[in-house]
Amino acid sequence: MALIQVNYLSKSLFRTVPVNVILPSDKIDYMTGEYLKSNDLKFKTLYLLHGLLGNYTDWVSGTRIQRWAEERNLAVVMPSGDNSFYFDGRMPMDDYETFIGRELPEVMRRMFPLSEKREDNFIAGLSMGGYGAFRNGIVYSDTFSHVAEFSGALHLFEKKEEDKGLKEFDKKLFEDVEAAGKTDLNPKVAYEEMIASGRPVPRFYMSCGTRDPLYKANAEMRDFLKSKGADVTWDEEDRAHDWDFWDSQILKCLEWLPLGEADSGLGSGNVKVNE
C-alpha cells in the first residue's frame, strides 16, 4: 500500500490543493517499481472528506483507514476542503462542489489507475464532510454509487434556537439560510431533484453517536430517505462526536461497500518469509 501526497493546481479553486491518496500496491512489480500490465487494473475508489477545521491528513492520522483499505485493495482519495462544506461558494474560485464532484475524480483517474465505472466509485465523510459527501453524493449520483456519512452536519437547514453564534455562522455560509434551504444545498431538495431528473439513486450508509448533538438531525434525514424508498443502512453507537466513533464507523462502512473479501494485504506487518 502506498500513501501518496499530491499537490496540483485546481481549476475549480484556482490554487494548488493538497490531496492524500491511499493506493493499493499488491499489483506492483517490486523489481521494477512499476504496475503490472493488466487491462483490468482499475481500482475501486473511495473519496473521503474531512470535517470542519480539518484537512487532507485527518483520516490517516485519526483512523486505521490505510490498513483497512490495503486489506480490501481499495484506493482512497482524501482532499482538503478547508471549511467550505464542499459546495460552490459565493466568492470566485471557491467552487468546492465542482472540485469534489467533477474535477477531482477526473484528475485522479489521469494520475492513477482508478476505475471510471459508477459502481466502483464511492464518497463518504464525517461531520462537515458528512454533509459534503451526502449532498454531493446525491447531486453527482451519476459519479458515485454509494454514499456514506458519519455524524453528518445535516442540521444546517433546521429551525434553530435563537442563538446569535449559529445565526452568524449560517449567514457566513449561506447569506440567506431560508433561500438556500429551497435549493439543492438542502439534501432533501437535492434528493427530490435527483428523482425528478431520472438520475441513478445511490445506496446510503448513515450513522451517528447517540450522545452526539447531531443525532436527531441524522435520524430525521434517515427517516426522510426511507419514506422515499431509498436503500438506507443505519448504524448508531453509544458515542459522541469523536474519532473513536469515526474509526469504528469507517471499518463498518468498508464492510458495507461492495469490495469483496478482505485479505491481509502486503505490508511490514505480514511479510511472508520463505521456509
> What is the pTM for the complete model shown?
0.90
Domain count, the chain: 1
> Dihedral, CA atoms, 118, 102, 184, 189, nearest 10 degrees?
0
At residue 229, the pLDDT reads 97
In this predicted structure, the answer to whether residue 250 has a pLDDT above a threshold of 70 is yes
CB 57 within 8 A of CB 20: yes
Backbone angles phi, psi at 46, to 5 degrees: -110, 125
- Per-residue three-class SS string for 109-163: HHHCCECCCHHHEEEEEECHHHHHHHHHHHHCCCCCCEEEEECCCCCCCCCCCCC
Q: Within a domain: residue 273?
A: no
Q: Tell me, what amino acid is at 261?
A: E
At residue 273, the pLDDT reads 39
Of 3, 167, 13, which is closest to residue 80 (Cα–Cα)?
13
Q: Within a domain: residue 147?
A: yes
What residues pair up with 88 in beta bridges, in sequence order?
Answer: 95
Q: Within a domain: residue 267?
A: no
Element (H, E) at 8: strand 2-10
Q: Within a domain: residue 185?
A: yes
Tell me how far apart the terminal alpha carbons of the chain are, to the nearest angstrom. Answer: 25
Q: Residue 49 sits in a domain of what CATH number?
A: 3.40.50.1820
Q: Within a domain: residue 271?
A: no
Q: Within a domain: residue 262?
A: no
At residue 272, the pLDDT reads 42
Q: Tell me, what amino acid is at 108?
A: M
At residue 166, the pLDDT reads 57
C-alpha cell at 154: 445535516
Quick count: other Cβ atoms within 10 Å of Cβ 115?
A: 16
The proportion of the chain whose per-residue pLDDT surpasses 70, expressed as a percent, equals: 84
Angle ∠(90,95,98) on CA atoms, nearest 5: 140
Q: Within a domain: residue 266?
A: no
Q: How far apart are CA 206 and CA 234, in angstroms?
A: 5
Average pLDDT, rounded, for the chain: 89
State pLDDT tens for residues 204-218: 999 999 999 999 999
Range among 119-133, 173-187, 253-267 with highest mean pLDDT value: 119-133
C-alpha cell at 147: 454514499
What domain range includes position 249? 2-256
Q: What is the pLDDT confidence band of residue 264, given thresholds at 50, 70 and 90?
A: low
In this predicted structure, the answer to whether residue 79 has a pLDDT above a threshold of 50 is yes
Q: How far apart are CA 243 and CA 83, in angstroms?
A: 18
- For cell 458528512, what's the residue? 130
Q: Within a domain: residue 87?
A: yes
| pLDDT (mean) for 99-117 | 97
